């Protein structure tokens, strides 16, 4: 699932930093340390890219990191040694980078973890598995519901599109290696959709979080994800064999006519491994989503809230949102406000209030700040 470019209307003052760029175990990396570093480090996970991200000397740092650097935090990030749904490689590459940072600059006072899109998945996975290393996590537009649930929803959408518009998409259970979700494919899908306006509305009603403008891009992109997962899993991990489509407005015809696929058992097990959240949060995690995110629906984060609740750790998870459409379209100020809340939660135990991202770290409204004793001792 590709992450979209960000929209940054604000201009942030430049912070003087020392930048290190290199390669570690075939993964490019970047380290940025402010001149007045506070000896705290933010470890950042980027979202999916079809090929590994490469950092280059002299390349400008994204404005999204400006608030973190201005708050005197160092930022480290790996480009990963693999593209696609590279959770395993990303986790290993980033841990190597963290250890390299410690070897070169000493053990900092604190590590925090954050990430966007697939990087939000990695932030959740990391804080669950390494609470001894990280004091807290910020997941931005993160895919923090079970991965098999998210990708199977996309697969079911593609199968429904194929029912209404047969022959437009490649074979879903074995996507050809040469498939490309380019502009030509998007236009082809948009042209097909235009021939059946009623079908557009049916698909949108079932999927729930897209619109007529974003739907062609979403449908074009999904086979890219399927191809990557099928290659990694050694089979097709996705299916809709036991799904009953509801709320489309054409449920009977859709369920009767859609082609049914059953996932390969071993491949499905691989996808569940990468990744089903445990919800076992010893440290605090704040998740921030766009209400109108068409790629990683904000409602999916509730699955994480339930996982944390089942694990007896509901008090260590908070979900907030901004009222905007698009994938990962946060401003630097919004990222700063979310980050400040996480830091306040860790440092003083003041748990953020779920709901809309507040205009500042000061809590507003009738719901007072909540002290969470389980986070009192975070470092």
pTM value? 0.91
For residue 20, count CB atoms less than 10 angstroms from its CB and return exposed for 0-12, middle for 13-18, buried for 19 or more.
middle
Tens of pLDDT, residues 146-186: 999 999 999 999 999 999 999 999 999 999 999 999 999 99
Structure confidence at residue 16 (pLDDT): 86
Contact 52, 77 (CB under 8 A): no
Among 53, 173, 49, 44, which residue's Cα sits nearest to residue 119?
Answer: 44
Which tens digits make up the pLDDT trace of 255-287?
999 999 999 999 999 999 999 999 999 999 999
As a whole number of angstroms, the distance between CA 294 and CA 168 comes to 21
Identify whether the C-beta of residue 89 lies closer than 8 Å to the C-beta of residue 275: no
Residue 285: partners with Cβ closer than 8 Å, 6 or more residues away: 123, 124, 127, 136, 137, 138, 139, 316, 317, 318
E strands present in 121-262: 134-140
pLDDT digits 0-9 by tens, 285-314? 999 999 999 999 999 999 999 999 999 999
Calculate the average pLDDT of the chain.
92
Burial 227-260 (b: 16+ CB within 10 A, else e): bbbbebbebbbbbbeebebeebebeeebbeebee
Band (pLDDT 50/70/90 cuts) for residue 10 is: very low
- The CA distances from residue 88 to 30, 76, 157, 169, 242, in Å, are 19, 18, 27, 29, 29
Structure tokens at 327: 């994938």
- Alpha-carbon gap, residue 13 to 331, rounded angstroms: 15
* Token digits of residue 289: 């989503």
Q: Residue 71, SS3?
A: coil
Question: Please, where are the H alpha helices in 106-214?
Answer: 118-129, 147-164, 183-194, 197-207
CATH 3.40.630.10 fits 17-145+276-375, yes or no: no
| pLDDT for the residue 12 | 47
Counts of helices then strands in the chain (DSSP H, E): 11, 11
Could you state, in order of their start, the residue ranges of all structural domains in the chain?
A: 17-145+276-375, 147-272
Distance of CA 216 to the CA centre of its chain: 21
Q: What percent of the chain has pLDDT over 70?
A: 91
Mean predicted confidence (pLDDT) in 197-224: 96
Per-residue pLDDT for 2 more than 50? no
pLDDT digits (tens, 9 = 90+) for 316-373: 999 999 999 999 999 999 999 999 999 999 999 999 999 999 997 543 333 333 333 3
Determine the angle formed by the axes of helices 197-207 and 183-194, rounding to 10 degrees. Answer: 110
| Listed residue (136, 122, 142) closest to 345, CA to CA | 136
63 neighbors 13 (Cβ within 8 angstroms)? no
Quote the pLDDT of residue 14: 64
Other beta carbons within 10 Å of 203: 26
| Predicted local confidence at residue 361, as pLDDT | 58
- Direct distance between the N- and C-terminal alpha carbons of the chain, in angstroms, rounded to an integer: 34
pLDDT in tens, 42-74: 999 999 999 999 999 999 999 999 999 999 999
Name the H helices within 106-146.
118-129
CA distance 33 to 364: 34
Assess contact for 319 and 289: CB atoms under 8 A: yes
């Amino acid at each position: 699932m590709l992450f979209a470019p960000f929209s940054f209307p604000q201009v942030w003052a430049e912070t003087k930093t020392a930048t290190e760029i290199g390669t570690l175990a075939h993964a490019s990396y970047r380290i940025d340390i402010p001149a007045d570093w506070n000896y705290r480090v933010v470890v950042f996970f980027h979202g999916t890219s079809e090929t590994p991200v490469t950092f280059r000397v002299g390349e400008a740092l994204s404005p999204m990191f400006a608030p973190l650097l201005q708050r005197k935090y160092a930022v480290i990030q790996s480009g990963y040694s693999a593209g696609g749904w590279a959770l395993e490689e990303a986790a290993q590459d980033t841990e190597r980078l963290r250890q390299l940072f410690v070897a070169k600059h000493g053990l900092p006072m604190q590590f925090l973890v954050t990430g966007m899109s697939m990087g939000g998945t990695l932030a959740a996975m990391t804080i669950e598995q390494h609470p001894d290393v990280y004091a807290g996590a910020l997941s931005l537009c993160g895919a923090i519901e079970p991965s098999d649930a998210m990708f199977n929803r996309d697969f079911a959408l593609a199968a429904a599109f194929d029912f209404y518009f047969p022959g437009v998409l490649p074979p879903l259970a074995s996507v050809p290696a040469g498939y490309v979700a380019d502009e030509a494919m998007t236009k082809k899908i948009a042209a097909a959709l235009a021939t059946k306006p009623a079908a557009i509305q049916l698909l949108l009603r079932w999927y729930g979080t897209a619109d007529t403008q974003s739907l062609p891009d979403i449908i074009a992109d999904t086979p890219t994800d399927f191809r990557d997962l099928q290659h990694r899993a050694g089979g097709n991990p996705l299916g809709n064999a036991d799904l009953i489509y509801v709320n489309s407005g054409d449920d009977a015809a859709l369920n009767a006519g859609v082609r049914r696929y059953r996932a390969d058992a071993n491949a499905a097990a691989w996808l569940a491994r990468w990744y089903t959240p445990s919800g076992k949060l010893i440290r605090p995690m704040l998740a921030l989503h766009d209400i109108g995110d068409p790629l990683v629906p904000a409602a999916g984060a509730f699955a994480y809230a339930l996982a944390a609740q089942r694990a007896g750790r509901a008090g260590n998870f908070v979900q907030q949102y901004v009222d905007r459409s698009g994938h990962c379209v946060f401003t630097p100020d919004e990222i700063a406000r979310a980050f400040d809340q996480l830091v306040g939660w860790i440092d003083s135990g003041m748990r953020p209030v779920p709901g809309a991202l507040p205009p500042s770290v000061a809590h507003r409204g009738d719901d007072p700040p909540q002290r969470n004793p389980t986070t009192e001792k975070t470092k």
